[in-house]
């Protein structure tokens, strides 16, 4: 049998093709093997974010998993709403999703049993500008929403406005000031809050009643 010319084009093409197939197989195998761990990590991170919206923060992984199972009384991680019991008080958690300057925004808003006031919030982003829009995920910004009113005249009023630019008819206890220098990201937070709370208004009313 004639030996293949290892310096020829045919050998190079065959060798490269075999290597590509082997590497692709190994990558697929590794990805498949790691997927359960990756999915578990994503789920745990989501649980921590939901807990943050309930003002339960800074837990290690084991404590967060246990606390989530303790306080969440209904709903799945991908549900538009969940319910919780925190220190004997019922809370409704509404998932919010929207768009910022550079990519998706998301988070959760927890609501007191009165169906009218915010208990806590958590917001996150994919690619907002560091030091500007990215600050929406910082606790100081999220804490601004505590106790804010959700409705005014029967409509969702809770929002985010550039300082001094809120509608004159809007009560001061229904909005927070935008992040300085991050107008478009703040507008995105405002829009997702108002849309998602409006979309879930019937669920909020049912929870209240």
The answer to whether residue 98 is domain-embedded is yes
105-122, pLDDT tens digit by residue? 999 999 999 999 999 999
Considering only 25-34, 47-56, 100-109, 180-189, which range has the smallest mean pLDDT?
25-34
The answer to whether residue 18 is domain-embedded is no
First and final CA of the chain: distance in angstroms? 86
pLDDT for residue 36:
72
Mean pLDDT of 147-159: 95
Report the predicted TM-score, pTM, of the whole model to 2 decimal places: 0.83
Mean pLDDT of 131-152: 96
Q: For residue 201, how many other CB atoms are within 10 A of its CB?
A: 17
Chain centre distance of CA 142: 13
**pLDDT over 90 percentage in the chain:** 79
pLDDT for residue 22:
85
- Report residue 3's pLDDT band, with 50, 70 and 90 as the boundaries: low
For residue 13, count CB atoms less than 10 angstroms from its CB and return exposed for 0-12, middle for 13-18, buried for 19 or more.
exposed
Kindly provide the residue ranges of all beta strands, DSSP E only, lying in 136-174, ordered along the sequence.
Answer: 151-152, 155-156, 159-161
Domain span at 91:
47-208
- Report residue 28's pLDDT band, with 50, 70 and 90 as the boundaries: confident
The answer to whether residue 145 is domain-embedded is yes
131: tokens are 């030091």
Number of domains in the chain: 1
Query: Tokens 């991050």, residue?
Result: 182
- Report residue 101's pLDDT band, with 50, 70 and 90 as the boundaries: very high
* Spatial contact of 176 and 160, defined as CB atoms under 8 Å apart: yes
The answer to whether residue 104 is domain-embedded is yes
* Spatial contact of 152 and 182, defined as CB atoms under 8 Å apart: no
Furthest CA-CA distance within the chain: 91
Query: Tokens 């310096």, residue?
Result: 7
The answer to whether residue 37 is domain-embedded is no
pLDDT for residue 5:
62
pLDDT for residue 9:
73
The answer to whether residue 56 is domain-embedded is yes
pLDDT for residue 124:
96
**pLDDT over 70 percentage in the chain:** 95
Inform me whether the pLDDT recorded for 76 exceeds 70: yes
Inform me whether the pLDDT recorded for 74 exceeds 80: yes
The answer to whether residue 183 is domain-embedded is yes
- Report residue 34's pLDDT band, with 50, 70 and 90 as the boundaries: low
112: tokens are 């007191």
Which element (helix H / strand E) includes 26? helix 9-53
The answer to whether residue 112 is domain-embedded is yes
């Amino acid at each position: 049998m004639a030996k293949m010319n290892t310096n020829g084009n045919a050998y190079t093409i065959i060798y490269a093709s075999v290597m590509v197939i082997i590497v692709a197989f190994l990558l697929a195998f590794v990805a498949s093997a790691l997927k359960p761990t990756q999915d578990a990590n994503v789920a745990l991170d989501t649980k921590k974010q939901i807990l943050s919206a309930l003002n339960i923060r800074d837990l290690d992984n084991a404590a967060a998993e246990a606390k989530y199972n303790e306080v969440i009384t209904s709903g799945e991680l991908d549900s538009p709403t969940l319910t919780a019991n925190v220190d004997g008080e019922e809370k409704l958690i509404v998932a919010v999703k929207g768009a910022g300057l550079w990519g998706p925004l998301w988070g959760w808003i927890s609501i007191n049993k009165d169906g009218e006031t915010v208990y806590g919030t958590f917001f996150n982003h994919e690619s907002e500008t560091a030091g500007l829009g990215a600050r929406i995920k910082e606790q100081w910004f999220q804490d601004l929403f505590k106790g804010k009113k959700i409705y005014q005249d029967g409509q969702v009023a809770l929002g985010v406005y550039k300082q001094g630019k809120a509608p004159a008819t809007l009560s001061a206890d229904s909005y927070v000031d935008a992040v300085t220098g991050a107008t478009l990201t703040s507008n995105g937070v405002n829009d997702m809050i108002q849309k998602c709370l409006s979309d879930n208004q019937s669920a909020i009313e049912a929870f209240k009643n």
